Amino acid sequence: MSCIEEKVILITGASSGFGMVTAKKCVEHGAKVILGARREDRLKELCESLGSKNAAFMTTDVTKKEDLNNLVNHGINIFGRIDSLVNNAGIMPLSFIEQGRTDEWDQMIDVNIKGVLYAIDAVYSHMMERGSGQIINISSVAGKRLIPGSAVYSGTKFAVGAISEGLRIESAGKLQVTCIFPGAFETELGSSIKDEKMLEYLMSEAKYANLAQPAERIADAIIYALEQKPGVAANEIVLRPTAQDF
């Protein structure tokens, strides 16, 4: 029996990219999934394709604590428990500091840091009381080093790394905590970049072109973390395209 089979796995940011592919792979491995994101049409379509016995969703804005509490309760009501959280929702409106796009900075802090914390809070006591659980946070290689324009995004992703390590220490012996640091992969993430200067910069730098690898590779890394048997966790996974030198 796969270590994923029969698990109840909550995935944020499941309406596209890593979250969507991971949801499909989890169900292929015999798990139940409870999915959250803001785009209801996407979640509905995905759940229909996965089957109502295997998948449920609730429209969720991770910047709202209440939404995450409702999502967790919805999962517990339908499937009886939450075994694993894939804390994946995120945005990446890269920009240069001189552009002063402070609303985007606020949004990144709200989604990428506060959203991750609210999701952890929503499942933490449920998992600790049961004495087990898995929390997989999605950081980025931008959470290990910077490029021009990534100051705030990197700040949020360094925070995800720190939060993961703190969570690991404080939940020792009970929770399996993983932080994944992806390089460039094919998803919708780049569409949140609106700063024209940033877009021009990324287009003009040859090293940023044609790097991205399929999102399935990160979903496979998430599955690897989910497959770890009780008593052990893959604490950190860095996965980059081989052509990515940053």
Interface with ligand NDP (CB under 6 A): 12-19, 37-39, 60-63, 88-92, 111, 138, 140, 182, 184-185, 187-189
CA 12 → CA 38, 245, 246, distances in Å? 10, 29, 27
Shortest Cβ 200–ligand NDP spacing (Å): 20
- Residue with smaller CB distance to ligand NDP, 5 or 139: 139
Contacts of 76-83 with C-beta under 8 Å, sequence gap 24+, read: 76/126, 78/34, 79/8, 79/32, 79/34, 80/8, 81/8, 81/126, 81/130, 82/8, 82/9, 82/10, 82/34, 82/123, 82/126, 82/127, 82/133, 83/7, 83/8, 83/9, 83/132, 83/133, 83/134
Min dist. Cβ of residue 147 to ligand NDP (A): 12
| Catalytic residue check, 153 | yes
Pick 31 or 222: Cβ nearer ligand NDP: 222
Active-site residue among 118, 153, 201, 208?
153
Minimum gap (Å) between residue 229 Cβ and ligand NDP: 26
The residues carrying an active-site annotation are: 153
